[in-house]
Structure 1
Amino acid sequence: MKKRIHLVALLLLFINGLFGQNFIQAYADIANQVSQSNITNALTDFENLGVKRRGTQELEDTYNWLRNKYLSFGYTAAQLEEDTFANGSYTCKNLIVTKVGSVYPDTYVIICGHYDSLNGVGTNDNGSGVATILEVARLLQNVETEYSIKFINFSGEEDGLLGSQHYVNNVVNGTTPKLDIKLVFNIDQVGGVAGETNNTITCERDTSSPTSNNAASNTVTNELMTCVTLYSPLNTNLAHAYSSDYIPFENNEEVITGFYETNETTHGHSATDLLVNMDPVYNYNVAKAATGAMLHFAVAYTTLSDNLFNKVNLVRFFPNPVKQYLTIDLGTSPEENYTLQLYDLQGKVVFSEAVIGNKQLTTINVSALSKGMYLATLISEKDVVKKKIVLE
């Protein structure tokens, strides 16, 4: 029987290699940079910040701690957004960090989890998710991806998903056009149980109404399960989505998936939800799986082909940094008309202008824009060239 199981496993791996996701060494190299000390230190810091309830200084201190963590990773203040909402008589905050993609800058992969707690400091629920998201953000900060990424830390989850519902109502649906979301990857309570064998992560899919997004959720959740096996030592368990911050997105017909611990703690929502009752090595392995998954979902670059390298480097934007006039050198023998679009660090188009292709050099006045970093995108019928520029 053991030999038969082994042969079936090999056959499944062979089929997956032909028709599914392949192992990418560069993704594994990044996932293997997840740090156990970073995970344990983040859990310790989170625990020491206290009970994170609405209206408390502890919740505000945790928000500021999160901001400072992202800034320490190299994200700029312009990439951080504060989304405030009323929670009873109190004001609570969501923190959104945006990393702009180079091919689809206005389409987002969201990785999210809540940072508020109930009846205790919430080291597992959901300091474990916070620690995971922070480590993914650290490792992807300098990795170029095709799709934009939003790292979101929600508040108000323990009061009925208030923070994520506010974000969906006022940001996702309040943007014109509506925010284009590729998928939402929610991470909630992934710290494991001390003293148990924590070797399996539960991967969650949409199985409820509306049903229009269920098939796509099933697809990305199966991709998530494959990433777990490719980039971590964990096994996977397939389950349905439950009451966490992806639900408002699910009800908005977005595509969702998620992580949840398979050995479920008995210390949830209590004063004993502490690091001593968790398995930080399991949390470390979850972070490796989440890192590999985000590299896959956002389509991270591993190498540039010679053709792409040559195409990108034939086009120049100068001076860079620029103060008032940006000059575009279209390279050798330009024959096409182009559109220049500038995206800010939130992935929003803030400038658009036609560029005539029969001129090698075109100069454009960008002095009306605010100082900062932008993604310059030059689009024609045949090519898309993207480079970062700085206005000062």
Structure 2
Amino acid sequence: MRTKFLSFIVFLVVLNVANAQSIQDLMDQVNTANLETMIKELSGEEVALINGTNQTITNRIHSNNDLATTYIQEHLEALPNLNVEIQNFNSTGKNVIATQLGTTNPQNIYIICAHYDSVTTYCADDNATGVAAIIEIARILSTQCIDNTIIYALWDEEEIGLLGANYYAQQVADETGGNTRDNILAVVNMDMIGYDGDAPGTAGDNDFDIDVRNIANSLTIKDELLNILNTYTFDLNPIVVDPGTTASDHSRFWNQGYSAVLVGESWETNDQTPDYHTSNDRSEDIDLPYMTELTKLVLAYTATEANLIAIDNTVTENSTSLVSNESTGSYQWYNCDTDSSINGATSQTFTPTTDGNYAVEVSNGSCAEISDCVSFTVLSIEEFTSNELRIYPNPVASILKVENYLEADLRITINDISGKEINIINSSLPNINVDFSSLPKGVYFINFITERKSSSYKIVKE
């Protein structure tokens, strides 16, 4: 496992695809509908697309959960920036491990995890809820550049002795034979996060447990979670349980001297699902708003500790162009419909010439992020008349003169014959000089754009 991780450090290319900039932005992206769908698919209450076909996960009992393993693997492999591996630890046990490498301190590791095996059919709360939360957090955080490494781990065979987590914890702590102990700074385990005794979706106490013990820096994790609760707005009431339970996967990291906590519904106040370990544990009993709050909490904690790198990958759209909101770095615009880069479109501003969906990749040092695809419609607007705009001489040897009779607020772009943007000028002066002297001989296009009008002219540089 350690050898693969080090190889990943060497060969990973950082590429991100989303649009959140602050931790609150990221929290706002947690999608309750996504959580509900994954719970129903993992519990077998709805069919799921697996291996390209609609299939039903009939159960997740460790001896018959290969379909669930593939479901989780495919969901994580569909995300950017994740190296996903299946860790086989015995003849039937399979952990699914997804690593998002930190760009600055890849050796600093934060793990968020849940077990995916069950004891019988359905088992929506135990623990399809935890699995759904981990995948949803990965969906959002995998789009961001981070300083430290995040590992999203889904354990197998928890229900028969915490075997998957135990194997992994022993491997990363192993210092024999020249191995180096992995620098895991925190483990947050999500086990049963969907039941609150109040009617689902109604106001109530929203108690949840943070199970912790004074092992390594586990108490610090607890304090950091409480600080997140006080920093942002949550509808949650934490119950700190110390000494916390050892009956879930986090305890196997305690055994190896690592810092870890459990986050889950409140067994401490006897507010756990009454259908624990039965086939009556169904999605209809999940309090989705409550579960969403817990998912946001762990996401916010993880994003804070991973330390987001500040790149603004959002896009502003106006009537004629798309503008990257990141003011520094390099840019590459993409046509989302053809999944290809646009030749020469490497400026902060991009003016599409055809309707379509477009995105921009912003690079800054070792980190790059891509915006969401933005749907853009090229407006059919009126062209300038000869009484409003005049350009001369054409062909041009040096200076192209523009007479802006109405003193309109013009955005002027110059493109070469391939479409590459050469220059941008913004002016409302009545007389504008456009310098072509440094450009090679050839054909160019000069575009004049206002909110209401647009004209393009072919210019020959001689």
**2:181 paired residue among 169, 178, 183:** 178
2:253 alignment counterpart: 249
Q: CA deviation at 1:245?
A: 0.6
Q: CA deviation at 1:71?
A: 2.0
Residue 210 (structure 2) pairs with residue 206 (structure 1): no
Residue 123 (structure 2) pairs with residue 133 (structure 1): no
| Bigger mean CA deviation after superposition, 236-245 or 165-174 | 165-174
2:262 alignment counterpart: 258
2:194 alignment counterpart: 191
Distance in structure 2 (CA, Å) of the matches to 1:200 and 1:231 = 15
2:234 alignment counterpart: 232
Letter in 1 for 2:286: M
**CA deviation map 1:349-373 (0-9, x unaligned):** xxxxxxxxxxxxxxxxxxxxxxxxx
Normalised to the residue count of structure 2, the TM-score between the two structures is: 0.56
**CA deviation map 1:282-317 (0-9, x unaligned):** 11111111111111121223459xxxx99x979xxx
2:399 alignment counterpart: none
Q: CA RMSD in A?
A: 2.5
Distance in structure 2 (CA, Å) of the matches to 1:46 and 1:203 = 25
Q: CA deviation at 1:189?
A: 0.4
Contact 1:192 1:198 in 2 (8 A): no
Residue 84 (structure 2) pairs with residue 73 (structure 1): no
Gaps of 5+ in 1: 1-23, 315-384
Normalised to the residue count of structure 1, the TM-score between the two structures is: 0.66
Distance in structure 2 (CA, Å) of the matches to 1:255 and 1:142 = 26
Which structure has more relative contact order (CA 8 Å, sep 6+)? It is 1
Distance in structure 2 (CA, Å) of the matches to 1:68 and 1:232 = 31
Q: CA deviation at 1:236?
A: 1.4
SS in 1 for 2:112: strand
Contact 1:194 1:276 in 2 (8 A): no
**2:42 paired residue among 23, 32, 46:** 46
Distance in structure 2 (CA, Å) of the matches to 1:81 and 1:270 = 31
1:373 alignment counterpart: none
**2:278 paired residue among 255, 262, 270:** 270
SS in 1 for 2:295: helix
In structure 2, do the counterparts of structure 1 residues 136 and 198 end up closer, same or farther at CA, with 3 Å as the change threshold? farther
Structure number with larger C-alpha Rg = 2
Residue 127 (structure 2) pairs with residue 121 (structure 1): no
Distance in structure 2 (CA, Å) of the matches to 1:302 and 1:261 = 34
Equivalent pairs, count:
277
In structure 2, do the counterparts of structure 1 residues 286 and 125 end up closer, same or farther at CA, with 3 Å as the change threshold? same
Letter in 2 for 1:148: T
Between structures 1 and 2, the one with greater helix share: 1
Q: CA deviation at 1:220?
A: 1.4
The 4+ residue runs of structure 1 with deviation greater than 3 A are 193-196, 385-388
Letter in 2 for 1:45: E
Letter in 2 for 1:188: D
SS in 1 for 2:67: helix
Identity %: 23
Distance in structure 1 (CA, Å) of the matches to 2:100 and 2:21 = 23
1:82 alignment counterpart: 86
Contact 2:85 2:96 in 1 (8 A): yes
Distance in structure 1 (CA, Å) of the matches to 2:22 and 2:233 = 11
Q: CA deviation at 1:198?
A: 5.4
SS in 2 for 1:102: coil
What are the equivalent positions in structure 2 for 1:1-392 lying under 5 Å apart? 26-48=22-44, 49-56=57-64, 59-75=65-81, 79-86=83-90, 90-173=91-174, 176-193=179-196, 195-196=198-199, 197=204, 199-207=206-214, 211=215, 213=216, 216-229=217-230, 230-240=232-242, 241-242=244-245, 243-262=247-266, 263-302=271-310, 386=366
Q: CA deviation at 1:232?
A: 2.7
Distance in structure 2 (CA, Å) of the matches to 1:82 and 1:269 = 26
**CA deviation map 1:166-215 (0-9, x unaligned):** 111234426821111111111100001464435222222124xxx5x1xx
In structure 2, do the counterparts of structure 1 residues 105 and 184 end up closer, same or farther at CA, with 3 Å as the change threshold? same
